[in-house]
Amino acid sequence: MHPGPSWLASRPRFTRLGMPLFWLILCAVILFPCVCFLILAVSPRLFDQGSQWFTLTYLHQALTGATAVALVNSLWVSCAAALLGLLLGFPVAWLAARTTMPGRRFVSGGMWLSLLLPSWLPALGWERLVQQQGVMYRIGLDWPWVTHLIMGPFGVVLLLGLRCVPFSYLAVSAALGGLGQEFEDAARVHGASRAQALRLIVPILAPAIWSALAIGFAESISDFGVAATLAYNSNFPLATYQLYAAIGNFPPSFPLAAGMSWLLVLAVAIPLGLQARALRGRSYQILSGRTRQAVRRRLSRVEAMLAGSGVALFFLVMLGIPGFGAVSGSLLGDYGSSFSLTLVNYQALFQQSGLLGPLERSFVYAVITASVTVTLGFIAARLLSRRRTAATGALDFLLLASVALPGVVFGAGYIFAYNLPIMSRLHIDLYQTVQLLVIAYIASSLPTNARVLVGAVSQLQPSLGDAARAHGAGAVRAWARGVLPVVSRPITLAWLYTFCGVFLELPLSQLLYAPGSPPASIAIEDNLSNYHFGVGMAQSVLAVLIAFAAVAIVLGGYRVLAPAGWRRIGGTVRG
């Protein structure tokens, strides 16, 4: 009898060491900083931050005074924003998926576009537009009531709500895609009018609706971009900024920040728990091989005009107005009351030293982070899609819990954990270094990345790689020829999503950037807070252009360079 091939006989050393090494990385970059920081809230003595081994003082402190006000603000604002996101996202998704509304093909692109923008960018655009001495005043619109409206709770809810719309849209669109025509037909033939049929089938979308609300709430309560810009400048404190202030103010109070982190994490868990409870024991399985494709409702001319202009208005408010605010702000001088456009801010960007550097720096950080994260994310997705074991179960829980962890908590955990004396004793001196910032970027992007990739990787048949290896390819070649082509598209999209997220990332950058090496978001913030509005806005506009150019180049490059067979897999369904 011939012995089997060598690759069947023994697992290579890197495979045997891979899993422990992967877990070690996860523990170092996710588990250790976050767990240490959260434990700190109840046991400050453990980390030499106080005298008590166990105390609830800091949790109690977080529930009193200014932090309590900020927390209450965050809770109601997040509820309102999630609701607003659903109220806007649901009809837009319905109109785009189920009617002949003009321009429906562009809706999805617009939603993705707004997802790629960090929340602080539109907030700055709005701010620059409506603040005193802002664009609106300089073009002669002296409307203080608009300033008061936007620079306050209403503006915060509006911006966070608009931020939730793409999530609602994507959740509802996906559900509508699987909701065949037969449920509506069944209602109609059994006596329901069109409106009654609609009322009947909307509850079938309950999972999508709950999911939209939960994501909207979680995104809003953990948002730092709006909290640190519009809300802060409007004297409307939100919990994430208050947490940042607890560390950033002198003297810093890490235990209080940790106490606030507990409350933030709990707040994120509430809607997820409610969602699970609402859907428990029910099945909303509506897809089958025989699901009849839904028919688009043909809108009358008036209906089409109303629907089209409504959606156009929505995009105008979501992207157009802040975009106009940012672009026009970048074309105005910093002071004065006239509306004379100038390119002086852009000239300054290219002539004054230190203005382009942050953008270059962020670009490099984003490329490194996206590449490393996608690699680690793929490994994690691969492990998650395998047979369920205790280790994969733990990995699943760790990544899922990390998705729900607000970025600012992550950052605070990093500051605290990598500043511990034990780190110095172990010669791990990463605090206030670029390396720590990039590691934090990677760690915070990894959970989402792994979850995005797990869908594609789960669909991989093990036989793809096995077939390549059985026909003589080595492990790497088998993967490159048999597996990579199938997942190349989701990997490319995950890379781009991470790149855009990191390129203009704010909370981690704010907490962890190395002195003297500010990334783009910090440099922009600095310029704006030092009244260099024009240059700050020009930096913002240039940063967005760079991000979009990167998306265009990568997607265009994929289209041109990837073999035709790669592009066919996972492409849009035709017909």
Q: At a CB cut-off of 8 Å and minimum separation 6, what does 255 contact?
A: 40, 41, 44, 49, 50, 58
C-beta closer to another protein: residue 52 or 100: 100
Q: Is position 22 an interface residue for another protein (rule: CB under 8 A)? A: no
- Report the site for another protein in 288-317 (rule: CB under 8 A): 288, 290-291
206-225 residues near another protein, rule: CB under 8 A: 206
Which among 75-83, 192-200, 388-396, 437-445 is the span making contact with another protein, rule CB under 8 A? 192-200
Q: Taking a C-beta distance cutoff of 8 angstroms, is the pair 546, 503 a contact?
A: yes
Q: How many Å apart are CA 499 and CA 441, to the nearest integer?
A: 10
- In angstroms, the CA 472 to CA 521 distance is 50
| Residue 188 touching another protein (CB under 8 A) | yes
In the 8-state DSSP scheme, what is residue 251? S
C-beta closer to another protein: residue 190 or 387: 190
Position among 4, 20, 140, 191 found at the interface with another protein (CB under 8 A): 191
- Member of 63, 286, 299, 317 binding another protein (CB under 8 A): 286
CA–CA separation, 533 vs 286, rounded Å? 52
Helix then strand then coil, % of the chain, to nearest 5: 75, 0, 25
Stretch 358-397: interaction string toward another protein, x if CB under 8 A: ----------------------------------------
- Closer Cβ to another protein, 165 or 209, answer by number: 209
Scanning 222-230, 287-295, 313-321, 492-500 for contacts with another protein by CB under 8 A, the matching segment is 287-295
In this chain, which of 203, 354, 472, 516 binds another protein, going by CB under 8 A? 203
Residue 194 CB, shortest distance to another protein, in Å, is: 8
What minimum distance in Å lies between the beta carbon of 180 and another protein? 8
Residue 400 interacting with another protein (CB under 8 A): no
Contact map string, positions 168 to 187, toward another protein, x by CB under 8 A: ------------xxxx-xxx
Task: Please report how close the Cβ of residue 295 comes to another protein at its closest, in angstroms.
Answer: 9
Which residue, 39 or 202, is less far from another protein as judged by CB?
Answer: 202
Specify whether the CB–CB gap between 6 and 474 falls below 8 A. no
Cα 382 to Cα 395: distance, rounded to the nearest angstrom: 11
Rule CB under 8 A: choose which of 65, 143, 148, 193 binds another protein. Answer: 193
Identity of the residue, 183 or 339, whose beta carbon is nearer to another protein in the bound complex = 183
Write down how long the chain is. 575
Question: How many alpha carbons fall within 13 Å on the CB side of residue 399?
Answer: 26
Judged by CB under 8 A, the residue of 2, 105, 190, 388 near another protein is 190
Euclidean distance between CA atoms 263 and 204, whole angstroms:
33
Distance CA 438, CA 154 (A): 35
Q: How far apart are CA 390 and CA 452, in angstroms?
A: 22
Q: How many residues bind another protein (CB under 8 A)?
A: 28
Q: What is the DSSP string of 359-383?
A: HHHHHHHHHHHHHHHHHHHHHHHHH
Question: Binding segment for another protein among 170-178, 250-258, 281-289, 341-349 (CB under 8 A)?
Answer: 281-289
Q: In a 10 Å sphere around its CB, with 0-12 CB exposed, 13-18 middle and 19+ buried, how is residue 20 labelled?
A: exposed
- Plot region of 338 (φ>0 → left; ψ -120 to 50 → alpha; else → beta): beta
Site pattern 499..518 for another protein (x: CB under 8 A):
--------------------
Identify the three-state secondary structure at position 297.
strand
Quote the CA–CA distance of 265 and 275 in Å, as a whole number.
Answer: 16
Minimum distance, C-beta of residue 193 to another protein, in the bound complex (Å): 6
| Residue 283 is a binding residue for another protein (CB under 8 A) | yes
Q: How far is the CB of 302 from another protein (least distance, A)?
A: 20
432 by DSSP, 3-state: which? coil
- The residue within the footprint of another protein, chosen from 63, 113, 204, 434 (CB under 8 A), is 204
User: What's the burial of 1, exposed, middle or buried (CB within 10 Å: 0-12/13-18/19+)?
Assistant: exposed
Least Å distance, CB 455 to another protein, is: 23
- 280 belongs to the binding site for another protein (CB under 8 A): no
Encoded one letter per residue, x for contact with another protein by CB under 8 A and - for no contact, window 529-558 reads ------------------------------
CA angle (279 as vertex; 277, 282 as ends), nearest 5:
130
Minimum CB distance to another protein, residue 277 (Å): 15
**Residue closer to another protein, measured from CB, 190 or 425:** 190
Dmax of the chain from CA atoms? 91
Nearest residue to 322 via CA among 330, 332, 334: 330
Which two three-digit tokens encode residue 345? 């801010």
Of 20 and 203, CB closest to another protein: 203
Instruction: Write out the residues near another protein by the rule CB under 8 A.
Output: 180-183, 185-194, 200-201, 203-204, 206, 281-286, 288, 290-291
